[in-house]
Structure 1
Amino acid sequence: MKLHELKNVKGAVHRRKRIGCGEGGGHGKTSGRGGKGQTARSGGSIRPGFEGGQMPLYRKLPHRGFNNYNFRTEYAVVNVGELASLDESVTEVNAEILAKAGLIRCACAKLKVLGDGEVSRAFKVTAAKFSESAKAKLEKAGGTATVA
Structure 2
Amino acid sequence: MMANILTHGTAKYNRSRRKRKKKKKKKDKKEDEGLSLRTDEKKLKWRPLPFQENKEKCPLVVFGAGVFGKDMVKMKGLWCGVIGKLFATLKKRDAAGELIVVTIDEFKTSKTCSSCFFDDLKVAKAPGFKGKGVLSCSKCKKVWQRDVNATTNGNDL
TM > 0.5: no
Question: TM-score scaled by structure 2?
Answer: 0.21
Question: TM-score scaled by structure 1?
Answer: 0.21
Between Structure 1 and Structure 2, which shows a larger proportion of helix residues?
2
- Point out the structure with max Rg over C-alpha: 2
